[in-house]
Amino acid sequence: MGDHLTLDTITVKGKLELDPADEPYRTAGSSAYLSSEHIERFRGTSVGDFLSGIPGVMNADSRNSGAVDVNIRGMQGQGRVPVLVDGATQETTVWQGYNGATPRTYIDPDFIGSVSIEKGISSAADATGATGGVVRATVIGVDDILLPGKTYGIRLKGGLTTNSSPVPAAGTNGGWDSLATNLRVYGGVLPPDDAVFYSDGMRRPPLLKPTGGSGSVVVATTTDYIDFVAGYVRRVNGNYHAGKHGGGGAHLVAKRNPRFGDLEVGNGGLSDYRAGEEILNTSLDNKSWMLKTTVKIEPSQRLELGYRRYLSYYGHLLSSRLFGAPYQSWLSSIDLDTYTARYRWTPQDNNFVDLKIDAYLSAVESRINVLDLDHSWDGSGSIRPTVKTFYPFFQWTDSKRWGARASNTSRFSTDVGDLLLRYGGAFVREDTGLPSGVDRDYYAWTLGGDTPRQGRREEVSGFATVEWQPVKWITASASTRYSQFITLDNHFTRTSTFKRKDGGWSPLFSLMVEPRDGLQLYTKFGRAVRAPSIFESLTGSSFYYSVEENQLKLERARNLEIGANFVKNDAWLSGDKLRIHAAYFDNHIDDYLTRAGIARERPEMPGRYRESLGRVNLDYAEMRGLEASLNYDTGRFLVGIGWNHYTHVMFCARKGVLKPTEPRCLAGGLPHSYSLQQVPPKNTITLQLGARLLQEKLEIGSRASYIGSRFAPGFGSRIGMGGVQPSRWKPYTLVDVYSTYKLNDNVSFDLAIDNLTDRYYMDALNAAQMPAPGRTIRGNVTIKF
């Protein structure tokens, strides 16, 4: 028993698991990573709020959709920044009446496991046409649900929110009554508020009263052969209320009529809504389901099958209808089914095979229900109209998008260094039109519905990437992609199918050097082509200049980025972490695709022009700027700083496209163009401070975000002439506070206050002039067992 056996040294080898939060500080490019904890902490009121605080990244038109529409470095819309959820994309574009169109993607935050954001042109298999960047969301899996050592488990999550009111009846008015703005100011005295404002929306609930909430249940199990996750979420919230402070709310002012010289009543606010008022058409009533199964064929092979359904009834009003008396419309709906299949084969001791195959199908039925409102007077001389006439207006669209992509990675060790070869291809097809079983003539002529685009679009691409590391501190990469697309336009007004076809190359190069451990310097240059989206390709609302007359070219983006990363552990204290990233970016897009008022000379009146709204390739668009981020974490305290600054933005049309009286180039966007709503703020700054207390069971913190003024003013056109109005806001600073308390491994509590100072503000990049939510308290409890 006393004998001892001495063994030789045993070396244990394992794969080093890198923190995904460090990935943005280790790559030749700019990116971001959001954990589920971050998403929970900053999820806000609207779905896209979790994207706030990331340098160069903003969610557009957050308040009038309940969806995600991402702007990265001034690039936005129509596939420029695809949002993929477990590899699937389902972007749906909604026409906003005279005021443009907004692409939308839908997902419930309770089902998001993590989000990674790649900025700029990408060589990845899923980045065909992505001229601005890619957002990749991962749906929760067994690791997000199961407690350590458990093979099955349940996660229950429930939450309450404040600052909302029940949805009023359709046709309820609110805010400023623009029909009463013909009131005159006599003797310098303004009329009483109730002559110009509707008062029903001023009954804001008490600060601590719960008025909305959510609940979800997710079950998970794992065995040696299969992982399984299933979940359900229900989320309900009424119309939120705007903040009370900051001076931006609608209020009466005296304005001099430029034509007659007399004083009239005017609105001195940023929108038609007053401080603290209920903002109509901002409610949501969502249900969401998910299933995910991973079959472990063998240690090196896995097949993941997934299904998600998203059903939402939400407030929406065409943003063009907001240029008048605001009113409550009917609720709109989105019904989304997504099917995914993902296969991975990574055999051990084989450097030549690392195979990934993804396939997906997204089926979206979108129904925009707009209550058009007309007024008339009874002849009594009343200020307010006494008769309301309601006109229904529908957009009912059924869209299906299915795609597949495959890629393989092979690695080689040679006398001149390590080589990595990645290659593959992708295919996607989109079909859009009225839902099956809906009679087109009845829908269009009897119900007054807007006839949707009818047709299909296909795109196929192939790519190859070579990465060479001659020595440990130098990495060079070169890639190329060829993509080809075809669209078939089957709109009911045309006698035959109109076909469009084109293709092009997208090369990308990068070089990264690491002169010392933890310090990386890089440069990245690439070109990418983007074909017209299905919305841009087919005949429909918003484009009245026919596709036959206006042959579009591919959009060709050129991107240069120069940057640096610095990563250091134990920088000043034992166990601390310091992460720094800085970059300069230069986007130049030839043949930038957008809408414009195309000028055509009148044959009967030489020298006079008329405008037709149509698709158009601009001469070019440009966005240049700087970004920087710093994160420092001692374990007990953390600080994060993010900054983005644009030095140049410009949109230029070709000579002869616009009317001779209009400028060809404008930094704030061109007349009638969607670019008017995509010009970002010149500066954004975010500061986050946090502390972990009580043996790290409690984390508290605060984030302050400054959103500066629009880079340049935007000059809109008359709404009645089909003009897009520029997004409009004033600089604002938001303060959010949060806390998380982990009672034990099973129970945790989250409490957050968004917009702590209750500021009245308009979101940057808004398409609809709707104030953002005021002070809102969110509380959540999560139970795992």
Beta bridge partners of 235: 214, 286
307-314: average pLDDT: 95
- Contact 180/196 with Cβ under 8 angstroms? yes
Q: Give the distance, in angstroms, between the CA of residue 295 and the centroid of all CA atoms in the same chain.
A: 32
209-218, 292-301, 360-369, 609-618: which range is least confident on average? 609-618
Residue found under tokens 């945790």: 748
- Count Cβ neighbours within 10 Å for each residue of 334-362 and write b for 16 or more, e otherwise: bbbbbbbbbbbbeeeeeeeebbbbbbbbb
Residue 120 lies in a domain: yes
Residue 457 lies in a domain: yes
How far from 604 is each of 364, 503, 607, 656, 723, CA to CA, in Å? 46, 40, 10, 19, 25
Residue 348 has pLDDT above 60, yes or no: yes
Structural domain that includes position 580: 20-391+398-784
Residue 738 to residue 756: CA distance in whole angstroms: 10
More confident residue, 638 or 374: 638
Residue 441 has pLDDT above 60, yes or no: yes
603-626: average pLDDT: 86
- CA dihedral over 705, 711, 713, 717, signed as positive or negative: negative
Q: Give the distance, in angstroms, between the CA of residue 777 and the centroid of all CA atoms in the same chain.
A: 23
**DSSP sequence for 479-520:** EEEEEEEEEEE--TT-SS-EEEEEEEEEEEEEEEEEEETTEE
Residue 109 to residue 161: CA distance in whole angstroms: 15
More confident residue, 784 or 722: 784
CB atoms within 10 A of CB 727: 28
Residue 614 lies in a domain: yes
Residue 644 to residue 625: CA distance in whole angstroms: 7
**DSSP sequence for 296-341:** EEETTEEEEEEEEEEEEEE----GGGGSSS-B--PPEEEEEEEEEE
290-310: average pLDDT: 96
Q: What is the band of 382 on the pLDDT scale with cuts at 50, 70, 90?
A: very low
pLDDT in tens, 29-85: 999 999 999 998 998 888 888 899 999 999 988 888 778 899 999 999 899 999 999
- Distance from first CA to last CA of the chain, Å, rounded? 44
Radius of gyration of the chain (CA): 27
Q: What is the band of 381 on the pLDDT scale with cuts at 50, 70, 90?
A: very low
The three-point CA angle 644-648-654 to 5° equals 140
315-329, 512-526, 625-639: which range is least confident on average? 315-329
β strands within 679-759, DSSP E: 683-693, 698-707, 732-742, 747-754
Whole-number percent of the chain with pLDDT over 70: 92
86-113: average pLDDT: 86
Residue found under tokens 């809109």: 716
Residue 661 lies in a domain: yes
7-11, 38-42, 163-167, 315-319: which range is least confident on average? 7-11
441-445, 496-500, 626-630: which range is least confident on average? 441-445
Residue 9 lies in a domain: no
Task: Provide the number of structural domains found in the chain.
Answer: 1
Residue 295 has pLDDT above 70, yes or no: yes
What pLDDT, on the 0 to 100 scale, is given for residue 727?
A: 87
729-743: average pLDDT: 96
CB atoms within 10 A of CB 463: 23
Residue 630 to residue 640: CA distance in whole angstroms: 6
Looking up residue 264, the CATH number of its domain turns out to be 2.40.170.20
155-159, 449-453, 473-477, 515-519: which range is least confident on average? 449-453
Residue 446 has pLDDT above 80, yes or no: no
More confident residue, 339 or 77: 339
Average pLDDT, the chain: 89
Residue 312 has pLDDT above 80, yes or no: yes
β-pair type (83-85, 133-139) = parallel
Q: Enter the DSSP assignment of 384.
A: S
What pLDDT, on the 0 to 100 scale, is given for residue 322?
A: 66
Whole-number percent of the chain with pLDDT over 90: 64
How many alpha carbons fall within 13 Å on the CB side of residue 49? 19
What pLDDT, on the 0 to 100 scale, is given for residue 389?
A: 59
Helix (H) or strand (E) holding 38: helix 36-41
- Contact 396/367 with Cβ under 8 angstroms? yes
Q: Give the distance, in angstroms, between the CA of residue 584 and the centroid of all CA atoms in the same chain.
A: 23
What pLDDT, on the 0 to 100 scale, is given for residue 44?
A: 86
- CA dihedral over 718, 719, 720, 722, signed as positive or negative: positive
Q: What is the band of 104 on the pLDDT scale with cuts at 50, 70, 90?
A: confident
> What is the reported pTM?
0.92
What pLDDT, on the 0 to 100 scale, is given for residue 388?
A: 55
562-576: average pLDDT: 95
556-583: average pLDDT: 96
What pLDDT, on the 0 to 100 scale, is given for residue 718?
A: 46
Nearest partner of 49 among 92, 96, 112, judged by Cα: 112
764-780: average pLDDT: 93
Residue 12 lies in a domain: no
134-138, 197-201, 755-759: which range is least confident on average? 197-201
Q: What is the band of 100 on the pLDDT scale with cuts at 50, 70, 90?
A: confident
Residue 174 to residue 40: CA distance in whole angstroms: 32
What pLDDT, on the 0 to 100 scale, is given for residue 148?
A: 93
Residue 137 has pLDDT above 50, yes or no: yes
The three-point CA angle 48-454-315 to 5° equals 30
Residue 10 lies in a domain: no
Nearest partner of 771 among 205, 100, 271, 50, judged by Cα: 271
What pLDDT, on the 0 to 100 scale, is given for residue 758?
A: 97
What pLDDT, on the 0 to 100 scale, is given for residue 547?
A: 55
Residue 448 has pLDDT above 60, yes or no: yes
Cβ partners under 8 Å of residue 57, min gap 6: 32, 51, 70, 71, 72, 117, 119, 133
Residue 4 lies in a domain: no
Tokens describing residue 554: 């591919």
Q: What is the band of 13 on the pLDDT scale with cuts at 50, 70, 90?
A: very low
Residue 414 to residue 251: CA distance in whole angstroms: 73
What pLDDT, on the 0 to 100 scale, is given for residue 719?
A: 39
pLDDT in tens, 464-518: 999 999 999 999 999 999 999 999 998 877 777 888 899 999 999 999 999 999 9
- Contact 540/549 with Cβ under 8 angstroms? no
Cβ partners under 8 Å of residue 608, min gap 6: 601, 602
